[in-house]
Amino acid sequence: MSGTVRTRFAPSPTGFMHVGNLRSALYEYLIARVSGGQFVLRIEDTDQKRLVPGALEAIYETLEHCGLEHDEGPDIGGPYGPYVQSERLDRYRAEAEKLIASGHAYRCFCDSERLEELRRQQEGQSFQGYDRHCRDLDPDEAAARAAAGEPFVIRQRMPLEGQTEFVDAVYGTITVDNSELEDQILLKSDGFPTYNFANVVDDHDMQITHVVRGSEYLSSTPKYNLLYDAFGYEIPTYVHLPLILGEDGQKLSKRHGATGFTELVEAGYLPEAILNYLLLLGWSPGDTREIFSLAEMEQAFTISGLSRSPATFDYDKLLWFNQTWLRSEEPKQFARRCRGALEDALGRAATDTELELAGRMLQPRLERLTDIPAQLEWLRELPEDYDLGLFTHKKMKTDAASSRLMLERLRAGLAALESWTEAEIHTYLLAAAKEQAVKNGQVMWPLRIAISGRSVTPGGAVELATLLGREETLRRIDLSLARLAG
């Protein structure tokens, strides 16, 4: 197919946005963008029973959130609309009629009871599927029965012999015996098309050049091609994608953890990190680059870099991407993310200096956005009953007794500081260590424990004291001193 590349993302609004869908959307978007083509959004709502309220909104929001802008779609229109399948029913019906007329399809009056019975009988047999009961009905008679109001579906008349072959851009040439192909339903009795049929009609109507989808469609692709052939339409380039699996090797689903984009965002992951991780889950640039912004992806993406084997979704690696993206944010922007939790812990509004400091403390340590409150927990209050054993640290050469002496000296010095700035506190504490001829740790460690009650804090004693403020720092030292004395 010549001309511009056109891809489409065609989700059905039947639930939340699964990361597998999002990855497909990303690849579809990139395949279009990398060659200056168009990316189309189409809504496949042909299964009226499975529609989920709000699912459509989730699709729009996710795409927007990720920056995957579409060029045509239900919300913005375009030259090939409508872009919602339930609004295209006439098209499918007309196309199906064309197929009946040309002998490539037929009306079938078998009801679900008969089909079910058929399935029961076929149990254990090699080829399971419709027995083509209505395939040879007289077309005129069938048309008459339909006209009389008898419910029917329209089925594709598959060739009984021969093979169908197609070339997939990632899997190569795939050949299937036509005898394996079922006379699949094209138009359901409710007048809605099946996915298989609507897809072919729409992809042709919308001039889609690259059909990108999960590899679960690989084995049904020959049926599509037979349809394209029956219509005389040009067959698009197929790009089938390897599946995403959970840690147990099964197709990724809910029970593996958060698998929806929104869920992940709520769990503290950045859209950039999610997208970046998804990009590399099934695609490789061929070199060692790993960090990609959307703009960089648009430059680097290649279909040939797509992998054929299924990939396991690894939350650890996703977490690493998240950390990496978090660290690369503008410090000011990152700090803004901390404001809410900081002020909450502080119990008052934060100054710019405090905000900057908090951001500086957290940015290199944060894994998820949702961890911010926990990282700031020490700021809230000094745990009344923290373990005094924390003062004992063999590497720092400190224990409760030495810490008590140290804290008494430091308290006086800190109280006397001219101003309470990070630099001044820092200078003073280092000077104190030097003056006493001890290692920095011997002054820093007791102080950290005394004012936070924790052995692990996001930052050192200096940062803690600075953020705490002089009054609160001294108060906590006194509290700790009292306990050490007791």
Partner RNA sequence: GGCCCUAUGGUCAAGCGGUCAAGACGCCGCCCUCUCAAGGCGGAAUCGGGAGUUCGAUUCUCCCUAGGGUCACCA
Q: CA angle, corner 401, sides to 396 and 460, nearest 5?
A: 40
Residue 184 main-chain phi, psi, to 5 deg = -70, 155
Q: Which of 5, 7, 8, 10 binds RNA (CB under 7 A)?
A: 10
Q: How far is the CB of 234 from RNA (least distance, A)?
A: 22
Q: How far is the CB of 3 from RNA (least distance, A)?
A: 26
| Stretch 333-352 residues interacting with RNA (CB under 7 A) | none
Task: Kindly tell me which of 295 and 423 has the beta carbon lying closer to RNA.
Answer: 423
Q: Is 185 in the site for RNA (CB under 7 A)?
A: yes
Task: Kindly tell me which of 57 and 177 has the beta carbon lying closer to RNA.
Answer: 177
Q: Is 250 in the site for RNA (CB under 7 A)?
A: yes
| Stretch 459-478 residues interacting with RNA (CB under 7 A) | 459-463
The piece of 66-74, 171-179, 343-351, 470-478 that touches RNA (CB under 7 A) is 171-179
Q: What CA dihedral angle connects 302, 303, 309 and 313, to 10 degrees? A: 50
| Stretch 189-228 residues interacting with RNA (CB under 7 A) | 189-190, 192, 194-196, 215-220
| Stretch 221-240 residues interacting with RNA (CB under 7 A) | none
Asked whether 157 and 105 are in contact (CB, 8 A), the reply is: yes
The piece of 29-37, 68-76, 285-293, 338-346 that touches RNA (CB under 7 A) is 285-293
Q: Is 15 in the site for RNA (CB under 7 A)?
A: no
Task: Kindly tell me which of 29 and 92 has the beta carbon lying closer to RNA.
Answer: 92
With CB under 7 A as the rule, give the number of residues binding RNA: 90
The piece of 73-81, 254-262, 277-285, 333-341 that touches RNA (CB under 7 A) is 277-285
Among 350, 417, 409, 399, CA closest to 379: 350
DSSP letter string over 21-77? HHHHHHHHHHHHHHTT-EEEE-B----GGG--TTHHHHHHHHHHHHT---SBBTTTB
Q: Which of 44, 72, 95, 203 binds RNA (CB under 7 A)?
A: 44
Q: Is 392 in the site for RNA (CB under 7 A)?
A: no
Q: Is 303 in the site for RNA (CB under 7 A)?
A: no
Adjacent-strand bridge partners of 8 = 40
Q: Is 293 in the site for RNA (CB under 7 A)?
A: no
Question: Which token pair is 84?
Answer: 């919602």
Q: Is 455 in the site for RNA (CB under 7 A)?
A: yes
Q: Is 174 in the site for RNA (CB under 7 A)?
A: yes
Return the number of other C-beta atoms located less than 10 Å from residue 82's C-beta. Answer: 14
The piece of 56-64, 263-271, 309-317, 350-358 that touches RNA (CB under 7 A) is 309-317
The piece of 112-120, 136-144, 229-237, 261-269 that touches RNA (CB under 7 A) is 112-120
Q: How far is the CB of 483 from RNA (least distance, A)?
A: 20
The 407-446 contact track toward RNA, x by CB under 7 A, reads: -------------------x------------xxx--xx-
Rounded to whole angstroms, the Cα distance separating 11 from 453 reads: 51
Among 465, 456, 473, 443, CA closest to 390: 456
Active site positions, annotated = 254
Question: Which token pair is 390?
Answer: 């924390």
Rounded to whole angstroms, the Cα distance separating 470 from 287 reads: 52
Task: Kindly tell me which of 449 and 474 has the beta carbon lying closer to RNA.
Answer: 449
Contacting residues for 324 by C-beta, under 8 A, at least 6 apart: 273, 291
Among 175, 184, 177, 183, CA closest to 161: 177
Q: Is 110 in the site for RNA (CB under 7 A)?
A: yes
Which of the 8 DSSP states describes residue 187? E
Q: Which of 3, 172, 232, 347 binds RNA (CB under 7 A)?
A: 172
Q: How far is the CB of 211 from RNA (least distance, A)?
A: 13
Q: CA angle, corner 151, sides to 147 and 157, nearest 5?
A: 90
Among 78, 18, 15, CA closest to 42: 78
- Name the region of 137 (left: φ>0; alpha: ψ -120 to 50; beta: rest): beta
Q: Is 171 in the site for RNA (CB under 7 A)?
A: yes
Q: Any idea how long the chain is? A: 486
Q: How far is the CB of 302 from RNA (least distance, A)?
A: 10
